C-alpha cells in the first residue's frame, strides 16, 4: 500500500474518532476536548511527514522530488479530510440524531441573551436546520485539505533530495 494512502486512512480514522468524541462531549466547554481540532491538525502534520519520509527512505532509496513529496502529502490530507467529514456525517445522522436540534437550542439561547428578535432567531434556527450538516462537512473537507496542502509543501521542501550531488 502506498504510504500516502496508508497514513491518510490512519490519520482520517484517528481524527474522525477524536472529532466524534469532541462533539459528544461538548468540546467547547470540555477541558480534554477544547483543543481537539488543533490536535487533529498536528496529528495530520505528523502523518504527512511520515508518509513523505517513508516513501523517500523505504521505497525510493533516500531520494524524493519536491513534486513526489507533495503528491504523497496531498494524498494524506485528502483521505484524512474525507474520512473526518464522513465521521461528522455518521455522528450527526446516526450516533447523535438530536445534535442539530441541540445546536439550534444553544444558538437560540445565545441570541436571546444578545437581545435578538424572535424573527432573527427563527431565521437563524431555520438556516441551521437546513444547512448545518452540509456546511460542517464541506468546511471540514476544505479546511483540512487546505492545511494539509500547506503541510505537504513544508514537509516536501524539507525532505526533498537536493539537486546538487
Output the nine-digit C-alpha cell for 112.
436571546
Dump pLDDT digits (tens) for 46-79. 999 999 999 999 988 889 999 999 999 999 999 9
With a pLDDT cut of 90, the percent of the chain lying above it is 82
Average pLDDT over residues 8-36: 89
Dump pLDDT digits (tens) for 70-121. 999 999 999 999 999 999 999 999 999 999 999 999 999 999 999 999 999 9
pLDDT averaged over the chain? Answer: 92
CA gyration radius, the chain? 20
pLDDT at 162: 60
Q: Is the pLDDT of residue 164 over 80?
A: no
User: Which of 78, 73, 83 lies closest to 19 in space, CA to CA?
Assistant: 83
In this prediction, residue 27 has a pLDDT band, given cuts at 50, 70 and 90, of confident
Burial of 23 (0-12, 13-18, 19+ CB in 10 A): buried
Q: Is the pLDDT of residue 165 over 60?
A: no
Q: What is the 3-state secondary structure (H, E, C) of 100-141?
A: HHHHHHHHHHHHHHCCCCHHHHHHHHHHHHHHHHHHHHHHHH
Q: Is the pLDDT of residue 145 over 60?
A: yes
**Cβ 152 vs Cβ 64: under 8 Å:** no
Q: Which residues contact 16 (CB under 8 A, 6 or more apart)?
A: 83, 84, 86, 87, 88
Amino acid at each position: 500500500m502506498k504510504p500516502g494512502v496508508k497514513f491518510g486512512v490512519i490519520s482520517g480514522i484517528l481524527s474522525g474518532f477524536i472529532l466524534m468524541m469532541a462533539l459528544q462531549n461538548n468540546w467547547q466547554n470540555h477541558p480534554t476536548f477544547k483543543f481537539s481540532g488543533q490536535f487533529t491538525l498536528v496529528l495530520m502534520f505528523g502523518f504527512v511527514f511520515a508518509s513523505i519520509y517513508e516513501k523517500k527512505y523505504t521505497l525510493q532509496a533516500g531520494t524524493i522530488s519536491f513534486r513526489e513529496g507533495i503528491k504523497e502529502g496531498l494524498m494524506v490530507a485528502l483521505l484524512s479530510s474525507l474520512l473526518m467529514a464522513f465521521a461528522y456525517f455518521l455522528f450527526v445522522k446516526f450516533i447523535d440524531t438530536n445534535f442539530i436540534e441541540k445546536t439550534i437550542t444553544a444558538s437560540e439561547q445565545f441570541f436571546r441573551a444578545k437581545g435578538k428578535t424572535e424573527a432573527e432567531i427563527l431565521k437563524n434556527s431555520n438556516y441551521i436546520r437546513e444547512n448545518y450538516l452540509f456546511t460542517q462537512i464541506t468546511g471540514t473537507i476544505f479546511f483540512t485539505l487546505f492545511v494539509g496542502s500547506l503541510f505537504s509543501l513544508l514537509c516536501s521542501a524539507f525532505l526533498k533530495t537536493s539537486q546538487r550531488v
